[in-house]
Amino acid sequence: MAKNENARGSTERVSFKDSIKTKLICIMILAAAIPLLIAVIVSYKTSTDKALADAQDSLEWEAWYLEQSFVTVLDTNMNMIRSIAGSPTVVNFVAKEGDIPLDAIINTLSECDTILNDGDTTAITDATGMQIARTSGDCIDVSDREYFQKAMEGTVYVSNVQISKKNGRRMLTFAAPIMFDGKAIGIVHRNYDLNNFHELLANEAEDAFLVDREGLVAAHSQYKIGEGEHEEESRAQSEFMVSGKDEGFYFVDTGKGYDAYVAYVKEPQSQFRVCAASNEKKVLASARKSATITIIVGLVLLVIVIIVSFVMANSFTKPILAVGKSLSALADGRFEKVGKEADRKDEFGQISRNTNSVIHTLDEIVSHIKESAANVGSSSEELSDMANQISQTAEDVSNAVQEIASGATQQADEIQSASENVGLIGDAVGDVQTSTGNLSGLAGKMKEASEVSSKSLTSLQDSSAEMTAKIDDIARTIQATQEAVDNISEKVEGITSIATQTNLLSLNASIEAARAGEAGKGFAVVAEEIGKLADDSKQMADDIMKEMGTLLEQSKAAVAAAEDVKQGNNEQQIAIGETLDAVNGMLEDIGSTVGGVQLISQGADTCESSKNAVVDTMSALSAISEENAASSEETGASMQELSATVTTLAGSADSLKAIAEQLNEEMKFFKS
């Protein structure tokens, strides 16, 4: 099998992707391509940033320049209408003072138009909004125009983009108030044709425009607006309108198929925005051109690097292939040295020479191994036979020791069981001792309690006899009370009889007093009072009779109750006597029980002493048996370990023999 594996190893070829040559070429290409890529990225980023910075500076300067041009237009027109509005001639004309002719005013306006020479006209309007003088054309009403309303508030005003009512031109209107006595009495206004500013933008900028306060494009450098040429265009949502800034620079998608960079400036007086823009492709064209040149140069350098990489890779891989060829021959059992590559002066030459040295050394070692393998084979066979014989003897001894250990272990178990049973007997004897001690104490306490009970019963019997005597005394006392009540009742009946007779006498006295007339009135009163006393006495006697009757009934009940108590007390005395006899008999039985318990306790003490002696003897015997069993087990284990060791040794010897045979077989592979 080893030969087959070696044969496969010698014929196997390295794939192109796993070849070190491929890896070296890739590493060298990457070493050149990565810095080149980084250089292109850095160059493009630097060029782009520089182009953007230059474009921003250029567009911002252009926006400022165009804003100044717009300021010049504003200042020129506004200064002109201010001067006209402040002219005393114009003020007096509008105020209708001094009888100033219209021609003089028109001449003044014409001079201004001539000075400005922009093709537009100047007009004067009264307080109602109706034009009252203009250089050309018919006068119209402008009261609905915003610039008129703002100027009449006393401020100079520039309108947003508006369309002329007369000719439809797109224009701005500059308006200034005509003040008289601190009040606006009219305005001077002048139009400015936005096509003029379009021409200015077209001459000065490639892509620039002017936006009014509402975001409507007033003029654009690339086209005219209105009059059928280009539709009105609103930029109310653009950044320069919503950012709230006076100036700025930003990137925007124009919506016309290209992106642009825009710089803007807000003119402070009119609040119009002047914007300058540039196509993104134009801004970044130079940066992209620079990056393209860098990429081309880099690709040329990359081709050169690839060529150099192939040359260097071949120089590196040739000695490696030569060494690989020698090692492949070695894998096939042949000792072939590296050829001309060993003459190189570099590290690859050193590797080739070291490979030749290894092949030479291996050739010598293989020769020695073949000789040693033959000797090891014969020795291992003898060692295997001796180990098998020792293993059999050790196994017999181990079995005998194991039987002795098993008997000793069984004997130790039986002794241990007997010792545990003796311990249980000892525990039972201890429980008996404890129980007899408790029983003796309980018997003593029971005897003491019985003696106390006997004394208490005797005392109770005596108390019961005394109670019987007391009950007889109470019965006699109640009987005497009953007799006294009877006597009192008789006396009360006498009092009642006397009260009745007294009442009759009082009645008779009253009758006699009535017969006596006036002389007997005082006696009648006395007789009446005596009758009342007789009635009260009788009533009291009746009440006493009732109470005495109640007392008599209660006395009879008390006598009956005393008889019942006496009868119960007599029965109690009989029961106490019988209980006293039983307690005295129980005292004699308790005395006998105490004596028997003491005899049991003495026997239990004897058993405890005997149990301790037996337990000590059994424990000593058990310990000896356990030591014997342990020694036998240790001896058996040692013999088993010896047997296992010898078995292992025999197996090792067999393995060594097999290895020696295999080694001899393998050594045949080398052709030396």
Closest-CA residue to 485 (of 536, 544, 543):
544
Q: Is residue 380 part of a domain?
A: yes
Q: Alpha-carbon distance 304 to 451, whole Å?
A: 134
Could you tell me how far CA 196 lies from the centroid of its own chain? 71
Among 243, 263, 290, the domain boundary falls at 290
- Residue 123 in any domain: the answer is yes
Do 286 and 429 belong together in one domain?
no
Hey, which of 61-70, 584-593, 630-639, 642-651 has the most confident mean pLDDT? 61-70
CA distance 117 to 249: 36
* Residue 541 belongs to some domain of the structure: yes
Q: Note whether 401 and 280 are same-domain residues.
A: no
d(CA 330, CA 324): 10
Distance CA 260, CA 254 (A): 7
Domain boundary among 231, 266, 290: 290
Q: Are residues 498 and 406 in the same domain?
A: yes
671: left (phi over 0), alpha (psi -120 to 50) or beta: beta
Q: Is the pLDDT of residue 521 over 80?
A: no
Q: How does pLDDT run across 428-461, given as a tens digit for each residue?
A: 667 756 766 776 676 677 677 667 767 776 777 7
- 351 is a domain residue: no
State the chain's mean pLDDT as an integer: 78
pLDDT at residue 662 in the model: 75
Phi and psi at residue 273, to the nearest 5°: -110, 130
Give the CA diameter of the chain: 199
**Average pLDDT in the 600-614 region?**
66
Q: How far apart are CA 378 and CA 296, in angstroms?
A: 78
Where is the domain boundary, 264, 290, 316? 290
In this structure, the answer to whether residues 379 and 279 fall within a common structural domain is no
Q: Of 387-401, 465-479, 615-629, 655-669, give the range with the top mean pLDDT.
A: 465-479
Question: 375 and 496 share a domain?
Answer: yes
Whether residue 45 lies inside any domain: the answer is no
AA letter at 591: G
Q: Give the separation between CA 376 and CA 153, rounded to whole angstroms.
A: 129
What mean pLDDT do residues 50-55 have?
A: 86
* Residue 53, CA atoms < 13 Å, CB-side half-sphere: 6
Neighbours of 114 (CB within 10 A): 9
Flag whether 134 is in a domain.
Answer: yes
DSSP E strands, 226-359: 247-253, 259-266, 273-279
The rounded distance, in Å, linking the Cα atoms of 257 and 455 is: 135
User: What is the percent of the chain where pLDDT is above 70?
Assistant: 76
Per the DSSP assignment, residues forming a β-bridge with 113 are none
Spatial strand order in the sheet of 273-279: 217-220, 208-211, 273-279, 259-266, 247-253
Are residues 284 and 418 located together in one domain of the fold?
no
Max mean pLDDT range (294-298, 482-486, 512-516, 608-612): 294-298
Q: Where are the alpha helices (DSSP H) in 163-262?
A: 194-204, 239-242
Contact 566, 468 (CB under 8 A): yes
**Stated length of the chain:** 672
Name which of 322, 361, 360 is nearest 344 in CA terms: 322
Q: Is residue 492 part of a domain?
A: yes
Local confidence band at 2 (pLDDT 50, 70, 90 cut-offs): very low
Q: Could you give the number of structural domains in the chain?
A: 2
412 shares its domain with 551: yes
385, 284: one domain: no
91-108: b (≥16 Cβ within 10 Å) or e: bebbbeeeebeeeebbeb
Which residues, at least 6 apart from 547, have a Cβ–Cβ distance to it below 8 Å? none
Average pLDDT of 59-82? 93
| Strand residues in 229-349 grouped as ranges (E) | 247-253, 259-266, 273-279
Query: Residues 45, 50, 52, 57: what is their CA dihedral angle, to the nearest 10 degrees?
Result: 170
Question: Closest Cα to residue 145, out of 167, 130, 135?
Answer: 130
Residue pLDDT, tens place only, 283-307: 777 777 777 887 888 788 878 888 8
pTM for the model stands at 0.45
| Residue 62 included in any domain | yes
If we measure between CA atoms, which residue out of 547, 545, 550, 546 comes closest to residue 492? Answer: 545
Distance CA 103, CA 110 (A): 10
- Looking up residue 233, the CATH number of its domain turns out to be 3.30.450.20
Provide the residue range defining the domain that includes 82. 51-290
| pLDDT confidence band for 7 (50 / 70 / 90) | very low
Among 87, 110, 111, which residue's Cα sits nearest to residue 100?
A: 87
Tell me what percent of the residues of the chain surpass a pLDDT of 90. Answer: 21
269 and 384 in a common domain: no
- Is the pLDDT assigned to residue 152 strictly greater than 90? yes
Q: How many CB atoms lie within 10 A of CB 138?
A: 7
pLDDT 10s digits, 308-323: 877 777 777 777 777 7
The helix (run of H) or strand (run of E) holding residue 515 is: helix 347-516
> In which band, very low, low, confident or very high, does the pLDDT at 622 lie, cut at 50, 70 and 90?
low
The answer to whether residues 367 and 279 belong to one domain is no
Question: Do residues 367 and 227 both lie within one domain?
Answer: no
φ, ψ dihedrals at 233, nearest 5°: -130, 125
pLDDT of 132: 92
Instruction: State the CATH number of the domain containing residue 564.
Output: 1.10.287.950
Q: Are residues 518 and 624 in the same domain?
A: yes
